[in-house]
Amino acid sequence: MRNGSESAIENDFLTLEDLAPEGKTILVRADINTPVDPKTGTLIERMRIEEAAITLRDLSKSKVVLCSHQGRVGRDDYIPLNQHAEALTQTLGKKVEFVDDIYGPYARKRISELQDGEILLIDNLRFSAEEANEYLPEAAAKTQIVQKLSPCFDSFVLDAFPTAHRAHPSVVGFPLLLPTAGGRLVVKELKAVNRIQQVAKGPFTAVLGGSKVSDRIEAIGALIENKRADKVLLTGVAALAFLKGAGKLRATLGIEKEEAVVDKAVKLMNTYPEVFELPEDLAIDKDGERYEIPVDSVSPTDKTYDIGGRTISRYEKIIRSSGTVFMSGPAGAFEREGFGVGTEELLRIMATSYGTTIVSGGHLSTALKVYNIHSWIDHVSSAGGALILYLAGRKLPLIESLSYSAKRYRAGGYGMPAKN
C-alpha cells in the first residue's frame, strides 16, 4: 500500500509500506556525512541528520539499524559516528545507541538484541576498506560487510540520496540479498526534481564550485552533453583547475591527481569553448584580510579563497537572464571570515532572480539558512554530485538498485509470493 504523495514514482521502486516493517529488523543506509570543524572535530550542522530522522520516525515500530559513511581517509572529517548518534538522539527525542563496530561479533550481537522501537547506529562504514571502493552489484554482495550483516535483517532501506552515484557495497550489495525500499528522502528528492524538470525552461545555467573537483569535472561534462547547461559559471577550486588549464593561473592547487584534473578541464574547454565562464578576479588572504586582485596578478604563493567582485557582477548578468539556474558547491572558503562574499552574493542573486532555482550540497544548504533565504529557492537538496548527475540524465547506482529490488520482489523473489 502507498500513500498518494508517493504515486508519482510508485512504479519505480518499493516504499516503506511495501516492506510492512512493523516488528521487523530493518537496515537503513542513510547519508549523514556532515561537515566537521577542522579545529575542534565537531559537527558544524545537522541538515542530513534531520533529513534521516524522517525515515527513522516512520520506522518507529521496527528494530532499526542505521549505517552511513563519514568523510574520507586522511581528511579532518574522517571520524567515528558517536557525535551523529548524539545529534540523532536530540533530533528524534529518543535514544539512538552507537556501537564502535560495523559488522563484527559485537555489532551483530547487539543487532540481535534490539527491541521494537530501538535504533542502533553502527560506526563509519568507511572504516571498512571495502566501502572505499565501487563494485558491480554481484561483487558487492560478496563483500564481508554485506555477507556478515545481511543475515541479521528482514529488509533494507536505501535513503542515501547524496550517495546515489556511488556503487559502494552498502548501496548496491544489500539489494541482491534483501527486499529493498526507498526511504522518505529519496522519494522527496525524486518527486521534487522530476517536477522541476517538467517545468524548467532555458537558458540553463550551472554555477559549480566547491572542493570536490573530480566529481565536478565528471558532472560538468554530463550536464553539457545532456543540454542541461548552456552556461557553466565556475567558482571554488573547480574554477582554479580551469584557470590553470587555460594558462591563467600558475599556482599549485594541492588537489588529488591535479595534472589529470587540469587535463580534463582543458579538454572540456576545447570541446565546449562557448560554455565556460571563468573568474576574472579572485580574493586572497593578505595579512589576514580579504584582498581582491585580477587573476593574472595571482602569484604562485598566494592563497585564493573566493571569487572577486568583478566576477560576481558578470555572473549576476548571466544568472538573471537564465530560465533555470543550478548551483552546487560554495564559491569559496565561505566558512573563513571575509571569504563568504561570493557564496552569499550568488545565492542572493539566485533567490531574487525570475528563473527556476536549484541549490545542492550540504554546505550551500547551511549557507542558505544562515543568510535566511532558504525559502526563496525552488528546490534545496543536501545532495551534491548525485543530484548533478541525476539532472544530467545519468543512471545512478542507488536508483538502479531500487528498481532491481522492486522487480524481483514483485516477481516473487526473496522467497516471497509474487505481488500483483
Question: What does the alpha-carbon distance between residue 81 and residue 408 come to, in Å, rounded to a whole number?
Answer: 33
pTM of the model: 0.85
Q: What is the mean pLDDT of residues 251-272?
A: 88
Residue whose C-alpha is closest to residue 183's, from 66, 282, 270, 300: 66
Q: What is the mean pLDDT of residues 251-267?
A: 87
Q: What pLDDT is attached to residue 417?
A: 54
Q: What pLDDT is attached to residue 210?
A: 83
Task: Decide which of 182 and 361 is more confident.
Answer: 182
Ordered DSSP codes for 104-144: SHHHHHHHHT--TT-EEE---GGGSGGGGS---HHHHTTSH
What the block records as the C-alpha cell of 137 is 552489484
pLDDT band at 145, cuts 50/70/90? very high
Question: Residue 361 in contact with residue 210, Cβ under 8 Å?
Answer: yes
Q: What pLDDT is attached to residue 38?
A: 81
Q: What pLDDT is attached to residue 7?
A: 37
Residue 208 phi/psi, 5-degree rounding, is -120, 130
Residue 184 phi/psi, 5-degree rounding, is -65, -35
Sheet (strand 231-234) strand order:
276-277, 231-234, 204-208, 324-328, 356-360, 379-381
Q: What pLDDT is attached to residue 217?
A: 82
Residue 406 phi/psi, 5-degree rounding, is -60, -45
- Judge residue 97's burial from the number of C-beta atoms within 10 Å of its C-beta, 0-12 exposed, 13-18 middle, 19 or more buried: middle
Is residue 418's pLDDT more than 80?
Answer: no
Is residue 377's pLDDT more than 50?
Answer: yes
pLDDT band at 10, cuts 50/70/90? very low
Sheet (strand 96-98) strand order:
96-98, 119-121, 63-67, 25-29, 155-158, 180-182
Residue 327 carries which DSSP code? E
Q: What is the mean pLDDT of residues 89-111?
A: 97
The residues, ordered by sequence, that sit 6+ positions from 277 with a Cβ below 8 Å of its Cβ are: 231, 232, 233, 234, 314, 315, 318
Query: What pairing do the DSSP bridges indicate for beta strands 281-286 and 304-307?
Result: antiparallel
Is residue 3's pLDDT more than 60?
Answer: no
Among 26-30, 206-210, 360-364, the least confident range: 360-364
Is residue 9's pLDDT more than 70?
Answer: no
Question: What does the alpha-carbon distance between residue 366 and residue 384 come to, in Å, rounded to a whole number?
Answer: 13
Share of the chain above pLDDT 70, in %: 96
Q: What pLDDT is attached to residue 2?
A: 37
Q: What pLDDT is attached to residue 122?
A: 98
Task: Decide which of 385 and 404 is more confident.
Answer: 404
Centre a 10 Å sphere on the Cβ of residue 248 and count the other Cβ atoms it contains. 16
Is residue 293's pLDDT more than 50?
Answer: yes
Q: What pLDDT is attached to residue 419?
A: 54
Q: What is the mean pLDDT of residues 93-101?
A: 97
Q: Mean pLDDT score of the chain, rounded to an integer?
A: 91
Question: What does the alpha-carbon distance between residue 334 and residue 368 come to, in Å, rounded to a whole number?
Answer: 12
Q: What pLDDT is attached to residue 65?
A: 98
Ordered DSSP codes for 247-283: T---S----TTHHHHHHHHHHHHHHSTTTEE--SEEE
pLDDT band at 335, cuts 50/70/90? confident
Question: Residue 42 in contact with residue 87, Cβ under 8 Å?
Answer: no
* Domains of the chain listed by start with CATH number: 4-188+396-410 (3.40.50.1260), 202-354 (3.40.50.1260)
Residue 179 phi/psi, 5-degree rounding, is -55, 130
- Judge residue 177's burial from the number of C-beta atoms within 10 Å of its C-beta, 0-12 exposed, 13-18 middle, 19 or more buried: middle
Q: What pLDDT is attached to residue 26?
A: 98
pLDDT band at 282, cuts 50/70/90? very high
Is residue 351's pLDDT more than 90?
Answer: yes
Q: What is the mean pLDDT of residues 348-371?
A: 90
Is residue 416's pLDDT more than 80?
Answer: no
Q: What is the mean pLDDT of residues 298-313?
A: 94
